[in-house]
Amino acid sequence: MNNLVIGQFVPGSGILYKLDPRTKILMTIAYVFLLVFANSWPTYLWSAAFLLMALVLTKQGLGLYWRGIKPILWLILFTVVLQLLFSGGTPVLFAFGPVKVTLPGLINAFYVVVRFVLIVLMSTILTITTPPTAIASAIESLLKPLKVVKVPVAELALMLSIALRFVPLLMGETDKIMKAQKSRGMSLSTGSLIKRAKAVVPLLVPLFVGALQRALDLANAMEVRGFESAEGRTRYRELSYSKADAWAFGALLVFAFGFIALNFVS
């Protein structure tokens, strides 16, 4: 649980920390959107180079990002297996009965892994350089046009802010429950698959009960303080763009044009 980096804010002094959160959210969305259409080695290398530049600008060690990827290695491996087993084409590299591993399947598996890792790393950069409250404020600002169609943007932003604040609390609570269960002799990593699944139940029940109790306490606290609506509430820190954001958008445009050009050339 402590190795899960994505979703956590890590204080730092890099250039990306100084950008407006709206800029970082828009850049992340644009990067992920373009990466979905990557179809060749040049586009993946270009995307990786842009990501590497962002990693350097955070001034965080690469070990931090590796620590964030390690917990999801099993998911990456599962994705690779699916691509290898269910991608057709020729030539066939390996065959065992109805199971065939082809060269196109191997290439697709590699592309999927690279795309998956790049998306996770870019999302991690967003979360470690931006506090949860800033992310919620940025989303509220970006969704303001939806107020025209009566969408409760302020309430949605408040819900998101509370949910993001609950993530580290639930992670800490899970860690405590796991240690308490282990101290009582329960093992979550040994035995058959069915035994491990049964061992998770004593972990989930107190976790959900605790989460519901925290949510109830928060609701009561907000009601006692007279909270009625998030609409029209002022903020201690107002969002504002700077020259650094202009440079960031310029870099994004360069990346987008280069990506599109490489996509057409490949």
Q: How far apart are CA 12 and CA 129, in angstroms?
A: 7
pLDDT the model gives residue 181:
79
Measure the N-to-C terminal CA separation of the chain; round to a whole number of Å.
Answer: 41
The CA–CA distances, whole Å, from 255 to 31, 114, 264 equal: 9, 18, 14
Q: How far apart are CA 90 and CA 47, in angstroms?
A: 28
Q: How far apart are CA 38 and CA 259, in angstroms?
A: 8
Give the burial class of 150: count Cβ atoms within 10 A of its Cβ; 0-12 exposed, 13-18 middle, 19 or more buried: exposed
Helix axes 41-58, 243-265, angle to 10 degrees: 160
The 3-state DSSP class for residue 253 equals helix
Q: How far apart are CA 235 and CA 69, in angstroms?
A: 35
pLDDT, one tens digit for every residue, the chain (266 residues): 455 666 678 888 889 999 999 999 999 999 999 998 888 889 999 999 999 999 999 988 888 888 777 777 778 888 777 777 777 667 766 666 666 777 777 778 888 888 888 988 898 898 889 888 788 888 888 888 888 888 888 778 778 777 777 777 787 888 888 888 778 777 766 667 677 777 777 778 888 888 888 889 988 988 888 776 656 666 667 788 889 999 999 999 999 999 999 888 76
pLDDT the model gives residue 47:
93
pLDDT the model gives residue 4:
61
Tell me the residue type at 190: T
- Nearest to 55, CA basis, from 22, 23, 12: 12
Six token digits for residue 240? 């504002």
- Cβ neighbors of 95 (< 8 A, separation 6 or more) are 101
Q: How far apart are CA 197 and CA 189, in angstroms?
A: 10
Q: How far apart are CA 164 and CA 25, in angstroms?
A: 15
Tell me the residue type at 144: K
Q: How far apart are CA 48 and CA 43, in angstroms?
A: 9
Partner residues linked to 95 by β-bridges: 100
Helix axes 21-35, 132-142, angle to 10 degrees: 80
pLDDT the model gives residue 32:
93
The 3-state DSSP class for residue 74 equals helix
Please count the residues of the chain: 266
pLDDT the model gives residue 103:
74
pTM: 0.76
**Spatial contact of 1 and 175, defined as CB atoms under 8 Å apart:** yes
